[in-house]
Structure 1
């Protein structure tokens, strides 16, 4: 395990491996007791790939992140001065006796790096920053009017050009000062006179400047100063040169030359300019290509690439309604307010009624209703004349988007649609920036293609560049290719640089940070990662494992918390933590090489060696015989897909990362169903039609988003069982005597909670220039409730004792309370017996949050015609937990429901009744249905990547024989 001895690299040359932290060859942890860890002492080899595995809740993250990483961070913080630490906040020492041999630690977790819409894959990997510099230094500029290449000339070149092409002609030398702008320009004319110039060319006409001269402020003007009138002769070259330089000075680098006889004009510029139209660009700089800079951003969408638009469809969703019956959705039903009075006056003029269905209104009336009058209407009546002014419903709503009121803006947002910016076509940059090109491509076009295509474009780019461009671009291209290569290494070839970071999954954002870390080429660092294989197809897993090994071979230590079979088997060292979850875990079950672990006979080893496995039912469910058919899906990379889903079955949607699974299910199918059943606002991606809507009665999506964003949210409140528990406590004799209602037992409202900490259980002590300190409330001692509330007990337990119970204990405790037991038992069924009922939502992982949601849905009474959509429910689950999960999914499906799962895990895929495999590749090379059918049919098809891996899995799988009828 030592790395300080001589090693041999691939070239056969002996290289000295790093010897850091003295001669320490191990990371030694003594007495770790954080969370559920039971005084663990452990030695880990340095400079190796170490995997922590074990069932969910066994203590893997407590050891890796809350102990080893937390101690590494604390030691790093201690290297700063007390003054610096006061700004960064302090870190508590983890509950561990000591850790020796610890290197600097970097944690790469599953948290999405940024919620900012301006943060993209290109910006966080810095590839886009290098590309901006490349375009600023080597790109050729083209006119956005004519498409011709822009030119720039020196002062001498301009003079020489005029001498050659205008010899003997009478010319007027002009300095452009105003081009295509409104204004009266009184002060400008006065300023020109003060500089000694007496003539100007205004909108193409030569005029003498008078002391009080001005132009129509509401019209667009072009103004040029007349610098000189000259006949071009070789003898007057000096005068011509002086006049040109003078014009370039006043015209800010531009000069206009007019033939006095024909009035033809010719532009010249020191800057980039289109000679035909006179359009000039500023010299490019890196920020000219940044959508986060005012120098490069699109002025219409402010660099977001999309705009919020109010459309006719959002304002009038149902044209069969009249205005009186609420046909204008944002305004609601007719009532006595000023805007309806305006509409009524308008309709009276056009001789139509507000009671007429909108679909029956004349076209011109509907246009005026939505977009307003082009000019005011004057109405003559016997009582006198009056004017009708009407700006139109859409223009009125657009004006409200700029309101200072959050409520008004939120109201308007309900009637907007997100559309691609019409100005920049979604590229985020202003039009000038998009007309700088290298090899015929602007920077925006390359930002939206997938990494595979981007890598292909940059390959051998030198062959397509000029010698000058090559000299400048050499180092930049090397850096860009290297970083693109790192993204390819971690299986992210289907992403684009343009992709917003907030849309990435936890696994994707983690792999991007991994790619960035490989690029830093640091040595001697301890990296700790949390399931980097999440969201990866088996095909891409090998690339990820190789990337981790490359990071290790640089001279780093790597600890990975992981359940993936391939990752465990290819690790250098495996630590299995368990044996159970929560209080039943927190111990080292085995620690050693994968081969040593496989012989140990533990739960993990039994699953890895196929001595134990998730059983496949030999007989598939027949289903209802009916199908849900989505036709013509074309969103993102989908290629006119027709999806057929057999109802009453468990269906897995599979495919390599980026193949189009989420586009088809989450972004097309689910929004259609959500709009149909719940009138949701989110628009689906383009599709033709959906057949079979009448065959299901609702849709439920169970994703991995948090069940709450504050510590006050917990599994008990989310599942609704806390309401039942509070009602139970309120029904007890002691509570009735005191007149307590269920609200008395809530820690979120006044009454029963401790008012000193407002039910939080902790108090925040502000330390001025030191970081805030959180201490248990001295009044309630962290129990959240006041003394009187805690005196009410059920089976000797207070409401606080119940919140501190694990789900497992609560099942026993509430065994005679069927309303409560039904909800708690489902939490236990999905493998969450180790979490406490009052555990803060912010401490739950994505997989745990998803299972809390799944348990909540399971506990509800269903009709047997529900479509459940799950997104990788095996995330964060050990083989044994997946076994529990499959039991739950079988129960859901056996009731007649349809369970649709997006999944990469073969243990879950192989037990499905039906598989839809999308691919064959990610990105542009994906978006088609490669194979569909039972797992056995898909495996036998030989189409796509899933079939190959599934066929291997089925060979070693255990089958469950059908139960014999009595």
Structure 2
């Protein structure tokens, strides 16, 4: 009896809460917590405290695993399986949907339209109600049955006078006597030849060197009640004579001298242009897919771009001669190139010491394009000195020779090197970047083809669809399609993405944008009773748009879903129904539930850093004074890339400058697509492609530029933070210098788990062995030879202060900094990692397990460890991504330290606490997409806040409140 009562109790709890007991995944310390269902729940805590371990690696992983376990083993072998998370019990789980930041759409074929599936509905819309046009002349082409043609003509009304023509010849050279004679034999008496009406009885002589159009007059008729039979016979005769095509001249009354004019109407039983003879395939959705050979441009296969030889890279300086290296593709020190081009020069009438700019027009033509009529003769003496070879052949030209060498490259790496050095991506000359074949681009709805429609922003697309004028039949066909398109576009608008265009490549989206796209897709599904887990959806979102995002999250909650969000945004934290704060620190110092309750309850927990920041007990102080800089500037002039509207701005050096603005206003375009590539190409001799601009002046005022982004610091599990910052080399050299190592002859390579020698060969230095289990998840077991230590026993015997190399890799950075405190060049680099808040990370931790924010701080620490010249420019793009209030405070202390040394920092940021720390703000906008791209205001935070009502700066509006209620430095 008691068991029955217990079960009822459990079921009642399951209906209200998700109960987690004994969670130990990653750094979680056997935690137990209850989360209310059908609420907006925010999990907060320091970066690395265990938030994602609880949300994704425990809750989501178990929800997915249970779903997969319900499937048959046959189905599971195709879907894959998931490991059971390290947790004792989870009750009250719903089906789980994870919406993470990670963007996997690096495929150039993925666009916003394809990812959101709106493009699929566009394709269906164009296939069902699209109007086909000839891709050559633009004439509209309609495919109609004989009955449809007759019904259309009869619909013109009684009394309408018609001439039925059969266009038997359209724009072809010749005398066409047989065509005319056959028409006479068939009983026809008139024809329209080259626009003039003639009697077939007359002698007709056509110039066979000119193109002619012959249209046989089948009938002349006035529409009456009883004329359908005659009209049908005439139309049928015309269609048979002209191979499915008929032209009807309709007399329309007007105010001219004649009192009427004739209107020409073209009908066709097949999609073909009568003038050009070009056939348009049947309108199907696949005709509008650039990922399908049926619709893709045949030249670029639907990419819109092609890799082409770049003349500027092939001939960077025409004032040089061949011997001086004018053609970097051809090494002038190569004996083969010397002998070959010696013959080319001799045949062309110049020398290898002639500057290429001094060549005559004919010599240049010969050099680049060759000449089949001129036979060259040359002797190639082998570099080994053993004999020679004699050649007699024409010169095919540099262009053809480079193409041949590229095609015949002995390996992929050599081919890629050629492409990187001498080729550039350029717009496809066939489709002009529109990806589709000409026949597809000739189909329109509302006067736009499908790619023109995709070029509109979300908000413009909604306006276009709303105002679309359709016939009654088209409305009936498209009502459901248009309803779905409107709904999806509205969802994108509601999550703050109304500035995106559907043609935009998915690979250019930020993590936050990609996540909000997936969020919009989920809203469209209308599911209830689901557990949604999101990873910082506010990333990349301006405060102005945050409320719309929060409204979206609460909408999902109100549909009776459980919405669990890993988030640091203050506004989201305050809006949450329930907060779970993980900590107190990061890594080994985290993994505990510090507080769980409503935001008000969490604020009363003194141990909760999140609660204390929300309460205002802890805060990031606002600088007392703003730096004026060193008086020098970098001036950017006339930037016109993407949506930037001829923007010009000065960036003060020796300051911390924030570039702000709503999403899509042009911040990344200005900084990452134009400013950084130009400065890097000038100072660092890189070869980045820079966006369209007039000039950038003042670069001589800095000596180097460092771009610290959030890309991974390594692509393999063997990469780790200490190898990236270069400290592991010093540690290995230390171990190689120990007496035991010297006695055994060990070099530093002995202490690397990436090369043979010192590592365990059973697991090849991984520490674990992977066992494939077919449809079950792969099993990772500890290596039974080295027991997870990665190295062989002889290597592990070498110890420093009682610790071997494996023990060192298992230390946290904080522990290692103390352990190596007597060795300055090691401890200094470890201390810099500590200073950016990464003391909790293990030295040997895989780089693939680091978050974007952690990877960015590893890069920042690497730069901090290098000697500063005081003239370095640091560029950062939203470095606060994934950072808690306390982490942001630590990061800003590091940033301010860099600027205090005389360096310059330019950062894109939305975090108001960080913007309030800046010396100078450059605010773009006022909105996103086409409504953005201008400089709204510049100045100190106080100046921008003071002027926001006259400038319309959204940043100024929100920063005013932050400055008013913030705490100033004393």
**TM-score between the two structures when normalised by the length of structure 1:** 0.86
Distance 1:644 1:388 in 2: 58
Q: How many angstroms does 1:391 deviate by? A: 3.1
Name which of structure 1's ranges 778-787 and 396-405 shifts more when overlaid on structure 2.
396-405
Select which of 762, 765, 788 maps to 2:768: 762
Q: How many angstroms does 1:791 deviate by? A: 0.7
1:344 aligns with 2:342: yes
1:950 aligns with 2:959: yes
Select which of 522, 530, 539 maps to 2:535: 530
Select which of 355, 370, 386 maps to 1:373: 370
Aligned to 2:735: 729
1:123 aligns with 2:130: no
Q: Secondary structure at the match of 2:733?
A: helix
Aligned to 1:567: 572
Whether contact under 8 Å (1:804, 1:838) holds in the other structure is: yes
Select which of 771, 778, 782 maps to 1:772: 778
Q: Secondary structure at the match of 1:773?
A: strand
Q: How many angstroms does 1:148 deviate by? A: 2.7
Q: How many angstroms does 1:848 deviate by? A: 0.5
Aligned to 2:825: 819
Distance 1:768 1:757 in 2: 21
1:47 aligns with 2:38: yes
How many residues end up aligned between the 2 structures?
A: 877
Whether contact under 8 Å (2:348, 2:366) holds in the other structure is: no
Q: How many angstroms does 1:769 deviate by? A: 5.8
Could you give the per-residue CA deviations for residues 185-244 of structure 1, whole angstroms, max 9, x where no partner exists?
xxxxxxxxxxxxxxxxxxx9xxxxxxxxxxxxxxxxx9x9x9x99998999999998987
Distance 1:238 1:94 in 2: 75
Q: How many angstroms does 1:36 deviate by? A: 1.6
Aligned to 1:418: 425
1:913 aligns with 2:919: yes
1:719 aligns with 2:725: yes
Aligned to 1:623: 629
Distance 2:531 2:935 in 1: 42
Aligned to 2:321: 322
Could you give the per-residue CA deviations for residues 633-684 of structure 1, whole angstroms, max 9, x where no partner exists?
1111111111211111111111111111111110101111221223322210
1:440 aligns with 2:447: yes
Name which of structure 1's ranges 284-293 and 83-92 shifts more when overlaid on structure 2.
83-92
Q: How many angstroms does 1:141 deviate by? A: 1.9
Distance 2:146 2:371 in 1: 50
Label 1:697 to 1:231 Cα distance change in 2 as closer, same or farther (>3 A): closer
Aligned to 1:76: 67
Aligned to 1:702: 708
Whether contact under 8 Å (1:624, 1:647) holds in the other structure is: yes
Q: How many angstroms does 1:92 deviate by? A: 2.0
Distance 1:869 1:23 in 2: 49
Aligned to 2:191: none
1:589 aligns with 2:594: yes
Q: Secondary structure at the match of 2:942?
A: helix
1:881 aligns with 2:880: no
Q: Secondary structure at the match of 2:140?
A: coil
Q: Secondary structure at the match of 1:352?
A: coil
Q: How many angstroms does 1:245 deviate by? A: 6.9
Q: Secondary structure at the match of 2:335?
A: coil
Could you give the per-residue CA deviations for residues 113-150 of structure 1, whole angstroms, max 9, x where no partner exists?
32211111111111110111111111212223332322
Q: How many angstroms does 1:174 deviate by? A: 7.8
Aligned to 1:187: none
Could you give the per-residue CA deviations for residues 888-919 of structure 1, whole angstroms, max 9, x where no partner exists?
11111111111111111111111111111111
Select which of 936, 939, 945 maps to 2:942: 936
Q: How many angstroms does 1:439 deviate by? A: 1.6
1:639 aligns with 2:645: yes
Q: How many angstroms does 1:351 deviate by? A: 2.3
Label 1:104 to 1:152 Cα distance change in 2 as closer, same or farther (>3 A): closer
Aligned to 1:305: 304
Aligned to 2:285: 286
Select which of 467, 474, 478 maps to 2:472: 467
1:106 aligns with 2:97: yes
Whether contact under 8 Å (2:164, 2:235) holds in the other structure is: no
Distance 1:290 1:905 in 2: 40
Q: How many angstroms does 1:277 deviate by? A: 3.0
Could you give the per-residue CA deviations for residues 461-485 of structure 1, whole angstroms, max 9, x where no partner exists?
2xx2121211111111111000001
Aligned to 2:270: 271
Aligned to 2:353: 355
Q: How many angstroms does 1:617 deviate by? A: 2.0
Could you give the per-residue CA deviations for residues 78-100 of structure 1, whole angstroms, max 9, x where no partner exists?
10122332343332221111000
Distance 1:611 1:270 in 2: 79
Distance 1:689 1:656 in 2: 26
Q: How many angstroms does 1:254 deviate by? A: 6.5
Unaligned runs of 5+ in 1: 1-18, 181-203, 205-221, 258-265, 962-966
Label 1:716 to 1:238 Cα distance change in 2 as closer, same or farther (>3 A): closer
Whether contact under 8 Å (1:151, 1:275) holds in the other structure is: no
Aligned to 2:693: 687
Aligned to 2:489: 484
Name which of structure 1's ranges 704-713 and 295-304 shifts more when overlaid on structure 2.
295-304
Distance 1:325 1:156 in 2: 76
Whether contact under 8 Å (2:376, 2:395) holds in the other structure is: no
Distance 1:387 1:403 in 2: 21
Distance 2:145 2:133 in 1: 19
Could you give the per-residue CA deviations for residues 522-573 of structure 1, whole angstroms, max 9, x where no partner exists?
1100011111111111111111110011111111001101000000000110
Distance 2:237 2:169 in 1: 9
Label 1:894 to 1:475 Cα distance change in 2 as closer, same or farther (>3 A): same
1:659 aligns with 2:665: yes
Q: Secondary structure at the match of 1:907?
A: helix
Aligned to 1:186: none
Aligned to 2:187: none
Distance 2:79 2:905 in 1: 47
Whether contact under 8 Å (2:322, 2:353) holds in the other structure is: yes
Distance 2:527 2:12 in 1: 15
Distance 1:457 1:343 in 2: 59
Aligned to 1:35: 26
Could you give the per-residue CA deviations for residues 163-188 of structure 1, whole angstroms, max 9, x where no partner exists?
97478xxx996899xx99xxxxxxxx
Distance 2:506 2:496 in 1: 16
Unaligned runs of 5+ in 2: 1-9, 154-160, 174-193, 195-210, 222-228, 249-264, 379-390
Distance 2:445 2:42 in 1: 45
Whether contact under 8 Å (1:342, 1:390) holds in the other structure is: no
1:458 aligns with 2:465: yes
Q: How many angstroms does 1:300 deviate by? A: 1.6
Whether contact under 8 Å (2:17, 2:35) holds in the other structure is: yes
Aligned to 1:555: 560
Distance 1:909 1:564 in 2: 14
CA-based RMSD of the aligned residues comes to 3.2
Q: Secondary structure at the match of 2:438?
A: coil
Distance 2:686 2:92 in 1: 55
Distance 2:803 2:577 in 1: 48
Distance 1:47 1:512 in 2: 23
Distance 1:172 1:919 in 2: 57
Q: How many angstroms does 1:306 deviate by? A: 1.3
Distance 1:156 1:580 in 2: 79
Label 1:881 to 1:471 Cα distance change in 2 as closer, same or farther (>3 A): same
Distance 1:346 1:425 in 2: 36
Whether contact under 8 Å (1:906, 1:950) holds in the other structure is: yes
Label 1:685 to 1:148 Cα distance change in 2 as closer, same or farther (>3 A): same
